[in-house]
Structure 1
Amino acid sequence: MRRKTDETDIEINYSKELFVDTGDPVLNHLLKTLFYYMEKDVIIKAKFDLNHHLWEDMGITIGQFLKNEVEGKKIKRFGTSILPMDDALILVSIDISRSYTNIDINIKDAEKGFELGNFKELVLGLSRYLQSTIHIKQINGENAHHIIEASFKALGSALKTALEPSDKLESTNRVYEV
């Protein structure tokens, strides 16, 4: 999967090992965390002009990548994870059906590279292009690094469950021909 714009050039492919090189060491770390908890080995490479564009387009590209993976397949659809990391405790709940995002995070101790705005742009892009409802709620925490990294861990764990194959169509909404 490749997304190339005037601002970014991002490529994600399956691999036999997890490798990430975006040019942003914080995003590298967080994407490795996300895919590790999803239990997916991928190679991600990116070039970009601004960090904001990188994070936003990365969310879009990951959303497209995962959407292509499950297109036409029966999946569990729902995934929820509550994960701690030091002072942070984060809840993530996902429904792969339609796009909606709610991020309830309040960072008190900022840290360079762990900006809430970039994090939100990545999650919004992921939600739009995967067609998923994503709720992220901070239950506890002050440190930006711990809060955002715990969010990526919980997001990966919730996505792992939601993307798993299912024997049935996980919906009570049925379309009946008349």
Structure 2
Amino acid sequence: MRRKAMTLSARRTTYETDVDVCIDLHGRGEAEVSTGIELLDDMLRIIASSGQFDIRIKARGDETGDHHLVEDVGITLGMCLSAVKSGTGSAIVPYGECTALAAVSFGAPGFRGDLKLSFEKIGGMAMENLVHFMRSMAYSGSFTLHVITDGGDDREKIVSAMKALGAALRNAIGDGGFEERQL
């Protein structure tokens, strides 16, 4: 039996970006994502599928590159997740030759990421912005997030990390409490 929908939404508009996020924390893992950045879209779909969230994200950025858009998608997704007031969860997920660990604890912002990526850019996104996305989401969502990968190539590290992140969020949300509100 499917639990009652827990839908949260937020919008962020700046000089560089316009981001609209809607997430159902008790979804089925369905994602409708359009950011214009191939890798970011893939990451968000993986998080939704692994976390069993239904997400709808529509985002556009200016011509200055991917930094502001990736950051603002992370911030806006975090704004939605800030409705979760407590809960702790973790997950270890293998993918190909990589294993990723993600741990989440709601209630205090913090971030540690250790991905050891080799490439500078994949799928239209600078790899430095992958860590920036996770940090922005954690601080905006007021949760501590640790993500560590071991082994594999860059693509395997990213997929494994996003699967672990989605599962850790799912576990933390199942453990915690909510504040119902619209941002």
TM-score by length of 1: 0.82
Of 160, 163, 170, the match for 1:153: 163
Give the distance between the partners of 1:28 and 1:151, measured in 2 at CA. Answer: 15
Are the equivalent residues in 1 in contact too, given 2:121–2:127 (CA < 8 A)? no
Unpaired runs of 5+ residues, structure 1, are 168-178
Q: How does 1:82-101 map to 2 (within 5 A)?
A: 82-101=92-111
Q: Is 1:40 the equivalent of 2:53? A: yes
Q: Is 1:18 the equivalent of 2:5? A: no
Structure 1 residue matching 2:48: 3-state secondary structure: helix
Q: CA deviation at 1:110?
A: 5.8
Unpaired runs of 5+ residues, structure 2, are 1-9, 178-183
Sort the Cα spacing of 1:145 and 1:161 in 2 relative to 1 into closer, same or farther, 3 A: same
Counterpart in the other structure of 2:113: 103
> Structure 1 residues 84-93 or 15-24, which shifts more?
15-24
Alignment length (residue pairs): 161
Q: Is 1:66 the equivalent of 2:73? A: no
Q: Is 1:79 the equivalent of 2:89? A: yes
TM-score by length of 2: 0.80
Are the equivalent residues in 2 in contact too, given 1:37–1:156 (CA < 8 A)? yes
Give the distance between the partners of 1:43 and 1:55, measured in 2 at CA. Answer: 16
- Give 1 or 2: higher strand fraction: 2
Structure 1 moving runs of 4+ over 3 Å: 14-17, 108-111
- The amino acid that maps onto 1:37 is S
Structure 2 residue matching 1:164: 3-state secondary structure: helix
Q: CA deviation at 1:61?
A: 0.6
Q: CA deviation at 1:166?
A: 4.8
Of 35, 42, 50, the match for 1:29: 42
Sort the Cα spacing of 1:81 and 1:5 in 2 relative to 1 into closer, same or farther, 3 A: same
Structure 2 residue matching 1:163: 3-state secondary structure: helix
Give the distance between the partners of 1:128 and 1:109, measured in 2 at CA. Answer: 26
Sort the Cα spacing of 1:54 and 1:109 in 2 relative to 1 into closer, same or farther, 3 A: closer
Identity %: 29
Q: CA deviation at 1:115?
A: 3.7
Q: How does 1:44-59 map to 2 (within 5 A)?
A: 44-49=57-62, 50-59=65-74
**Structure with bigger gyration radius:** 1
Structure 2 residue matching 1:123: 3-state secondary structure: helix
Q: CA deviation at 1:159?
A: 0.2
Are the equivalent residues in 2 in contact too, given 1:110–1:144 (CA < 8 A)? no
Residues 91-134 of structure 1 deviation map (CA, whole Å, 9 limit, x = unaligned):
11111121111111212356623643111110111111111111
Counterpart in the other structure of 1:173: none
Sort the Cα spacing of 1:59 and 1:43 in 2 relative to 1 into closer, same or farther, 3 A: same
Q: Is 1:112 the equivalent of 2:127? A: no
